[in-house]
Amino acid sequence: MQRLQADYGDVTHMRIAGEHLYGIFHPTLMREVLVDHARDFTRVERIIDVIVRMQGKSLLTTEGDLWKSRRRMLQPLFSPARMGNYARLMVAAASRHLQVLISDQREVIDFEHVMTMLTMDVIMQMEFSRPAGEDAEKVERAIRYLSEVDIKRMFSVLSLPEWMPHKAEERRGRRVLNDLVWTQIQHRRAELSKGAAPREDFLGALMALRDDDGADGGLGDEEIRDQCMTMFLGGHDTTASALTWWGFAMTSNPECAQRAAAEVDDVLGGRPPAYEDIPKLEYLNRTLQETMRLYPPFAILISRRAMQPISIGPWQIPKGAAVMLSPWVVHRDARWFPDPETFDPDRFTEENSSQRPRGAFLPFGAGPRVCIGNTFALTQMSLVSAMVLQRYRFHSVATDKAADNPTYNFTLRPAAGMRLELSKR
């Protein structure tokens, strides 16, 4: 996609298998698609069909009036009023993982795996009031395998049915994820049938949801499963991706890591972080923003289909054409981010940010369908990264640049894992 922009400019047109596909790489034009003309576009069916295989018919995959209803119902679960409680769960889960992160004073660890296990534990506590448990690594393997399978399916013209013999591993992976969520729902139903008080977690809130106008009697167990699955996958995988690349950025830029650690020490004074501390960790938050600029978790997966002929800037997009937007391309455009390959958190000072067009930085999308969990994700990133810097130092090793090899399987991950060297402070 970067080559397309370099060769043909900010708007490109291709025909693939008879379909018109437009690549749009300018922030102003991207905002026209996602914000100004959001009602004139829907999502591309192929992508949604693939996501439904894993996540079901959740907020992420529905459209029209059903999506509006569910968005309205679910939005209060991500309000600032709830973030303080979520933050306490995040800090407790992170403490358990980080206190045993390394056994020696200096050690090379699989940082990607650690961040995935940590964020999975956080999302399990937030959703179900339970830790990830002994099946966490099995779940991680299933997610990784299914992500590789489904991203290939998304960009393939022909997909073979899942019942075929050579797809046994795919079927096992889907069973692992389904069993994880269904077990929690069944356990909660059993609790409630015995007179237990409702829990104040994501699952409890879903079970209690009603439409404001009373027209909807609430969610059935199938839809509760789908919403829980989407929250589980999106709520930990995206954050794990961002934190993994943040660790790489801290290793590769020790002066930035030292400055962020000094800020954490000054603001927290050795105590655990709280939700109220996050706005004070200004430089640390800029390191996270700069990480998501260079390594956006959703690097290319923003696509739309025109429901009618529509003008985007001076270009005419015909009805039925597909539009592909790429955060990766716009985030690495030197017009908006000079010397774009350099890691520079001060790009995100208030003054520097105000000089860029809106839409130049969109790690969570934009418009009505902006990620509903973006505040949850940013809260988790800030708290976890602060706790890592309180406890450990990153060390640059000769092979660290080998980790800078991203691959895209729904979220952006290092192709060969992320082994980083840390020492205790």
pLDDT at 293: 97
Range of 10-14, 98-102, 148-152, 159-163 with top mean pLDDT? 10-14
Cα dist from 364 to 40, 102, 227, 248, 335, whole Å: 20, 32, 18, 21, 21
Identify the structural domains of the chain with CATH numbers, from first to last: 55-297+363-424 (1.10.630.10)
Q: What is the mean pLDDT of the chain?
A: 88
**Strands (E) located in 3-71:** 11-16, 19-24, 41-42
- Residue range 291-313: mean pLDDT, rounded: 90
Q: Which of the four pLDDT bands, split at 50, 70 and 90, describes residue 402?
A: low
Q: Give tens-digit pLDDT for 329-353.
A: 999 999 999 999 999 999 999 999 9
- Give the predicted TM-score (pTM) of the model: 0.91
Give residue 196's identity as a one-letter amino acid code: A
Annotated binding-site residue? 371? yes
pLDDT at 403: 61
* Residue 249 pLDDT exceeds 70: yes
pLDDT at 163: 66
Q: Is 3 exposed, middle or buried (0-12, 13-18, 19+ CB in 10 A)?
A: exposed
Give residue 124's identity as a one-letter amino acid code: M
Cα dist from 127 to 51, 72, 380, whole Å: 20, 19, 14
Span of 21-25, 175-179, 206-210, 375-379 with lowest mean pLDDT: 206-210
Give residue 333's identity as a one-letter amino acid code: D
Percent of the chain at pLDDT above 70?
94
Reduced 3-state DSSP string for 226-266: HHHHHHHHHHHHHHHHHHHHHHHHHHHCHHHHHHHHHHHHH
Higher pLDDT, 398 or 307: 307
Scanning 33-167, the segments in alpha helix (DSSP H) are 45-55, 64-74, 80-98, 111-128, 136-154
| Cβ neighbours of 361 (radius 10 Å) | 23
